[in-house]
């Protein structure tokens, strides 16, 4: 399948489908835009967790057990940081640390984030796929919870998603702009399909949608927009998606995810376990196996989504 695809994703779940698309599409046919609402500064370093997860996954150097961080990582820095009394709640492996140090150095020298990521992609050997941040501007996901207003990493890592979520906001999204020329390419029909990967709708995709020009571009996209549900049979494959939906008073279902994207999408993909919900959807739908445990699973889902996209063009 030789469609030209724009894929929007967050961390682990989104990166899995991005890898499937990367391996089945011809070189030059895939652009992946990663969430940067999770970005923060830690130990004086600029950390971009979702961007790095996408880079490491596409490069084949991600930790296969966790899905994040580097394979065959060592932890000498963290051990020494603990020895001298530094904060160890956010783990930075030795290989991973080099990425953050170099990104921080280059940002402070005046380079833009998308330029740095493009260079990292080349150095990691990611050929034929463009990886972009959703914005070069700072957008920060804030979780308003029973324990106060929490930065994303405080909620997600330090407090392990335990606080009860009351609402979520996206600081400075109104003033942010898309990185590079990707929206111009979308408007000029450079892409044949836009795929919203099976990432957390509230934490991984909504930070991008909260940027007005991104929302408008998807709403008026000349290419069909397709979302894949991260919910399978009432449960999230990974992470706090189901917990957050319950706490926000949203039904934990694929249908609720489709309604979240309702005004933006032309098609929706559910797991075969949720095939009976398709009649409740207001857009065309595909039921297939969406659980991605192996590379073959990722490639199979990618092929299914591409074939579905071709029917919507």
Range 288-300 average pLDDT: 97
CA distance 306 to 311: 9
CA angle 234, 16, 226 (to 5 degrees): 65
Name beta bridge partners: 225. Answer: 194
pLDDT at 310 over 70: yes
Residue whose tokens read 């961080």? 69
| Interval 169-209: pLDDT, tens | 999 999 999 999 999 999 999 999 999 999 999 999 999 99
Element (H, E) at 132: strand 129-133
Taking all residues of the chain, what is their mean pLDDT, rounded to a whole number? 96
| Interval 13-69: pLDDT, tens | 999 999 999 999 999 999 999 999 999 999 999 999 999 999 999 999 999 988 889
| Interval 97-121: pLDDT, tens | 999 999 999 999 999 999 999 999 9
Listed in order, strand segments (DSSP E) in the chain are 5-9, 30-34, 40-42, 45-47, 129-133, 140-145, 148-151, 165-171, 193-196, 225-228, 231-232, 235-236, 267-271, 284-288
Q: In this structure, what token pair is assigned to residue 102?
A: 């170099």
Q: In this structure, what token pair is assigned to residue 287?
A: 């039921």
Instruction: Report the pLDDT value the prediction gives residue 181, as an integer from 0 to 100.
Output: 96
């Amino acid at each position: 399948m030789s469609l030209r695809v724009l894929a929007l994703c967050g961390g682990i779940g989104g990166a899995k489908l991005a890898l499937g698309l990367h391996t089945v599409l011809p070189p030059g046919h895939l652009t992946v835009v990663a969430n940067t609402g999770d970005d923060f500064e830690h130990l004086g370093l600029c950390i971009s967790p979702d961007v790095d997860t996408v880079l490491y996954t596409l490069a084949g150097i991600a930790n296969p057990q966790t899905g994040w961080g580097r394979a065959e990582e060592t932890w000498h820095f963290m051990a020494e940081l603990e020895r001298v009394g530094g904060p160890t709640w956010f783990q930075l492996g030795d290989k991973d640390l080099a990425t953050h140090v170099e990104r921080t150095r280059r940002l402070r020298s005046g380079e833009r984030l998308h330029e740095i990521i493009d260079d990292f992609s080349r150095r990691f050997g990611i050929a034929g796929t463009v990886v972009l941040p959703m914005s070069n501007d700072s957008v920060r996901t804030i979780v308003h919870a029973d324990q106060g207003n929490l930065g994303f990493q405080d909620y997600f890592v330090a407090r392990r998603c335990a606080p009860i979520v009351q609402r979520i906001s996206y600081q400075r999204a109104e003033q942010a702009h898309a990185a590079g020329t990707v929206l111009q390419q979308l408007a000029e029909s450079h892409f044949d399909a836009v795929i919203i990967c099976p990432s957390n709708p509230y934490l991984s995709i909504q930070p991008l949608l909260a940027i007005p020009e991104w929302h408008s571009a998807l709403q008026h996209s000349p290419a069909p927009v397709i979302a894949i549900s991260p919910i399978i049979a009432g449960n999230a494959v990974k992470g706090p998606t189901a917990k957050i939906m319950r706490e926000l008073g949203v039904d934990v279902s694929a249908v609720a995810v489709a309604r979240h994207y309702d005004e933006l999408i032309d098609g929706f993909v559910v797991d075969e376990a949720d095939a009976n919900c398709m009649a409740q959807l207001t857009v065309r739908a595909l039921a297939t196996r969406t659980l991605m445990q192996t590379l073959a699973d990722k490639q199979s889902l990618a092929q299914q989504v591409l074939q579905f996209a071709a029917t919507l063009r």
